[in-house]
Amino acid sequence: MKRAEERETLPETHVGDLLRANRVDVSMLLIRGEAGGTALTGTLYEPGDDPPSFSGAPDDGAPYVWVCDSFYEVASGGQVQRIGDREVNVAFESPSPRGFETREQAIEAAKDHVRTQFQRIGLDSEDVTVAVEQP
């Protein structure tokens, strides 16, 4: 058995690469917003993906389905989150899946949703960096 310092290291591999190598459809997108030292990521399911089917999920006829947490600042309770140089009490709502007819509509709505969540905890939407990634 090799000692820890002698073990071979595997090259860094992206999860999406592993899934594609095993022929798993990975057309969904991750939409991630970052601001104030924290981040929020939601999932955009595209045609061919299996969107969530829990209560409140949009009907199966929507080709694009956006799912992401929603949260807001509360005076007490909730979860304490460090935002920049201050601590904020944050309460979470149930994820609110939404269906869209086009990819462009879905991505724009997802970006708006992410920016809105940061506004709800006192950050300027202009300070939110939003990225669209394929896993």
Per-residue pLDDT of the chain (135 residues; tens, 9 = 90+): 433 333 333 344 443 443 444 444 558 999 999 999 999 999 999 998 877 776 666 565 789 999 999 999 999 999 999 999 999 999 999 887 889 999 999 999 999 999 999 999 999 999 999 999 998
The confidence score (pLDDT) of residue 4 equals 38
Name the residue range of residue 122's domain: 27-133
85 in any annotated domain: yes
15 in any annotated domain: no
The confidence score (pLDDT) of residue 91 equals 96
95 in any annotated domain: yes
Give Dmax over CA atoms of the chain in angstroms: 56
72 in any annotated domain: yes
pTM of the model as a whole: 0.75
Cβ-contact 115, 123 below 8 angstroms: no
- Separation of alpha carbons 78 and 31, rounded Å: 24
The confidence score (pLDDT) of residue 96 equals 74
The confidence score (pLDDT) of residue 50 equals 79
Structural domain total, the chain? 1
58 in any annotated domain: yes
Neighbours of 122 (CB within 10 A): 12
2 in any annotated domain: no
36 in any annotated domain: yes
9 in any annotated domain: no
